[in-house]
Amino acid sequence: MLFSPMPMHIPDGFLSTAVSIFLWIVSILIIAYSLKRVGNELGERQVPFMGVLAAAIFAAQMLNFTVVGGTSGHLLGAALATILLGPWAAIIVMTSVVAIQALIFQDGGLVVLGANLFNMAIVGVAVAYMVYRTLYRLSGGKQWGIFVGGFVAAWASIELAALACALQLAASGTSPADVAVPAMGGIHALIGIGEGLITVGALAFLYATRRDLLTAGESSATQGKVVWGVGLAIALLLAVLSPLASAYPDGLEWVAEEHGFIETARAPFYEIIPDYVFPGVSNEALATIIAGVVGTLIVFGVALAIGYARRKRQEA
């Protein structure tokens, strides 16, 4: 669809249930904590402020520029939101954007939404914050700190979110790590440059027109130590895990196998169910044929019922 800036919204079916549920739990905890922090910082202003800015990020993702031959660059916006709003509000804003994309536009699945939130709203924001704050501090609050920091933060947020996505696919047994990690990492290293350029363009515009907005985030910076630490931890972990996983894809293969092991461990549970519960189940081919017949009958029955109801309505 026209709103998918990059192949990073995982659809349903591509992650194993164990990976999906684990990441749902992690994301829910972090988002709940961010909600509390934002409530303390913004007070009653938070609902209109974050709602409108989430809509702005969504709309900003539609703005594109042509690169070469039909391809175009877009914005993800995690880094820009982090720089302008601070980390906690950025997590909530990006959560809203990713959740609405999944719910309304099927950009990303529902059961895997936890993983998509983790990659784009949490990894993206935490890494961008860590990089931007570090470079901004190094520059001593000078102008180049904002722009260089903005560019590198935008690039890193895209790249690391993509690596997290690739590792999740590999851990689910969907894509071999030695293919997924270099492919996702490589493509997004390029996409990240576009993200960086747009982010710098936006920062330059705001620097010229409303400099106060760029420095507004500083007051809350003293409270951002946790995010800085989390961002650093995520960045280091992904930087170590990604080359390791692509060099030894069997490691993650092993994780995927473990899920298989959990599945076979459930066997005794299903042995309780006697054979006659599902007639024909003892033969797989036969079971498939029966399922086909039953399925066809269901659909046929529904179609007939609809046709009948429609005729009746016309007669009435």
Partner 1 sequence: MHIHFLDPYQPRQSLIHAMDGRVKLILAVAFILTTSLTPMGAWAAYILLSALLLSAELLSDLPLGYYLRRAFLVLPFILAALPLPFTVPGQLLAEFAIGGISLQISTEGLIRLISIAIKSWISVQIAILLTVSTPFPDLLQAMRSLRVPRLLVAVFALMWRYLFVLVDEALRLMRARSARSSQHPQGSYRSGRSIAWRARVTGSMVGSLFLRAFERSDRIYMAMLARGYDGEVRTKPLPPLTRAQWVGTLIGIALLLTILIFAQFLSLLG
Site for partner 1 in 276-295 (CB under 8 A): 278, 281-282, 284, 287-288, 290-292, 294-295
- Quick one: tokens of 260? 């298989």
- Tell me if 9 sits within 8 A of 114, measured CB to CB: no
Residue type (1 letter), 280: G
50 vs 235, beta carbon nearer partner 1: 50
Helix (H, G, I), strand (E, B) or coil at 5: coil
Amino acid at 221: A
Identity of the residue, 233 or 291, whose beta carbon is nearer to partner 1 in the bound complex: 291
Q: Which residues inside 125-184 make contact with partner 1, applying CB under 8 A? A: 169, 173-176, 179-180
- Give the nearest distance from C-beta 295 to partner 1 in angstroms: 3
CB nearer to partner 1: give 233 or 304.
304
Cβ proximity to partner 1, 71 vs 137, nearer residue: 71
Place of tokens 């992650």: 15
Residue span binding partner 1 (CB under 8 A) among the ranges 54-62, 116-124, 127-135, 138-146:
54-62
Nearest-approach distance from CB 251 to partner 1, in angstroms: 14
Phi, psi of 142 (to 5 degrees): -85, 170
Residues 56-115 contacting partner 1, CB under 8 A? 56, 58-60, 62-68, 73, 75, 80, 84, 92, 95-97, 99-100, 102-107, 109-111
Residue 206 is inside which H or E element, if any?
helix 177-209
By CB under 8 A, tell whether 7 contacts partner 1: yes
Nearest residue (CB) to partner 1, 138 versus 291: 291
CB of 257 to partner 1, least distance (A): 11
306 counts as binding partner 1 under rule CB under 8 A: yes
The dihedral sign for the CA sequence 273, 13, 296, 309: positive
Beta strands in the chain (DSSP E): 65-66, 72-73
HSE at residue 72, side-chain half, CA atoms within 13 A, is: 13
Tokens matching residue 300: 């046929």
Using alpha carbons only, how large is the chain's radius of gyration in Å?
Answer: 24
Contact, 79 vs 153, CB < 8 A?
A: yes
The contact pattern for partner 1, residues 242-261, with x = CB under 8 A and - = no contact, is -------x------------
